[in-house]
Homo-oligomer: A and B are copies of this chain.
Amino acid sequence: MKSISDFLKNHDIRPSYQRMRIFEYVQSKRNHPTIDMIYSSLIQEIPSLSKTTIYNTLRLFVSAGIVKPVTIEDHEIRYDADTVPHIHFKCIKCGKIEDIYLKNDWNDLASMVPEGYVVNEEHLYLRGLCPDCRDA
């Protein structure tokens, strides 16, 4: 918990209890949770927690760059605290969204983009069957 507090401070975010717990949840679960998933889980331990706080806090985290919004589809917004470049895989059967890491890099992408475009971010996501659902 101390490390989370320091991490937030390093990003000019005051480490209130709610903020620490919310960040801890997103970072540790790695479930790409929705607002509701965070709320449903934390309300059990922080009975006073308000959903507005979750919205405010996530907005703060996103603008500070320590959490990324993941917009895969279904117009649900999900959140991800992993800052290492990775791609998302959504299983069309169980619905789970996982992080996967490609075997090789694909950093030759910049050379494949038409002239004149400046690329700041690359987002890749795949849809298909995860290993569990493939075998079932």
* Chain A residues within CB distance 8 Å of chain B: 69, 71-75, 77, 89, 92, 100-104, 106, 109, 111-131, 134
* Other-chain residue from B71, B72, B112 in contact with A106 (beta carbon distance below 8 A): B112
Asked if A119 meets B113 with Cβ closer than 8 Å, knowing A71-B71, A73-B69, A75-B75, the reply is no
Q: Is the CB of A127 within 8 A of B117?
A: no
* Other-chain residue from B72, B75, B102, B134 in contact with A118 (beta carbon distance below 8 A): B134
Q: Is the CB of B112 within 8 A of A102?
A: yes
- CB A106 to nearest CB in B, in angstroms, measures 7
Copies of this chain held together in the complex = 2
Asked if A117 meets B130 with Cβ closer than 8 Å, knowing A71-B71, A72-B71, A75-B75, the reply is yes
Question: With a CB–CB cut-off of 8 A, which chain B residues contact A100?
Answer: 113-114, 117
- CB A91 to nearest CB in B, in angstroms, measures 9
Question: With a CB–CB cut-off of 8 A, which chain B residues contact A120?
Answer: 92, 126-129
Q: Which 3 A-B pairs have the closest CB atoms?
A: A116-B131, A118-B129, A120-B128
Question: With a CB–CB cut-off of 8 A, which chain B residues contact A89?
Answer: 117
